A and B are shown apart, each in its own frame.
Chain A
Amino acid sequence: ELKVEQNPLFLSMQEGKNYTIYCNYSTTSDRLYWYRQDPGKSLESLFVLLSNGAVKQEGRLMASLDTKARLSTLHITAAVHDLSATYFCAVAPKDSNYQLIWGAGTKLIIKP
């Protein structure tokens, strides 16, 4: 059974600081997704990572994937208040076209 673990589950940080969210998964996968959710709102797709060593960047967010270590990271550079949200990773089990296994989410609070 594929399990996805995110850590930390909660993170409070100051504006301007850097930090990394980790997403570990337990079995082979070839696709990993990062989503953002604002409180009480829907989810927004941030990144799709499809191969070992893949790196995607959008603004102050950068995501990477190491399929050998079964690890993805979401790095936040010089955090700003608008990045406060809950971030989820979701992993597709190998040979699964439609099902995703989701992490519990990392609630990120960025203080001015």
Chain B
Amino acid sequence: DGGITQSPKYLFRKEGQNVTLSCEQNLNHDAMYWYRQDPGQGLRLIYYSQIVNDFQKGDIAEGYSVSREKKESFPLTVTSAQKNPTAFYLCASSFTGTQPQHFGDGTRLSIL
């Protein structure tokens, strides 16, 4: 079955550590997105990628980095510069920017 796989489901970060969240899709979608969700709030866009080897900052990109070397993969690195990383991170993909986005099951990141 086609879908989006995020891993790990839970992740703990130590102070000063960079961590990478994985997102893989087999839907043949061109566009991929990373969102952050905090309790009681809507989703906020971190980065998005329209095609391979191209990505743009969203509203809250500071302290995060991404790469898009393959169509299927869009990993997100939460760097030590992100001072408040505790949140639920959702990866999504779509055929185009106007098509509905399909979401993975999310990664919950916490600080040790």
Count of A-B residue pairs with CB < 8 Å = 56
Contact between chains at A105 and B98 (CB < 8 Å): no
Contact between chains at B58 and A99 (CB < 8 Å): yes
For window 18-37 of chain A, which residues contact chain B by CB distance below 8 Å? 31, 33
Contact between chains at A88 and B43 (CB < 8 Å): yes
Q: How large is the interface on A (under 10, 10 to 19, 20 to 34, 35 or more residues)?
A: 20 to 34
Closest to B106 in A: A42
Q: Is the interface of B mostly helix, strand, loop or mixed?
A: loop
Q: Given A98-B48, A102-B44, A103-B42: A41 and B98 within 8 A (CB)? A: no
Q: What count of chain B residues pass the 8 Å CB interface test?
A: 25
When the two chains form the complex, which single residue of B45, B56, B105 contacts A100, counting CB atoms closer than 8 Å? B45
Q: Does B96 contact A (CB under 8 A)?
A: yes
Q: Does A43 contact B (CB under 8 A)?
A: yes
Residues of A within 8 A of B50 (CB): 97-98
Q: Which residues of A contact B (CB under 8 A)?
A: 4, 9, 31, 33, 40-45, 48, 88, 90, 92, 96-105
Known A-B contacts: A98-B48, A103-B42. Give 8 more (CB < 8 A): A41-B105, A45-B100, A88-B43, A90-B42, A97-B96, A102-B42, A104-B42, A105-B42
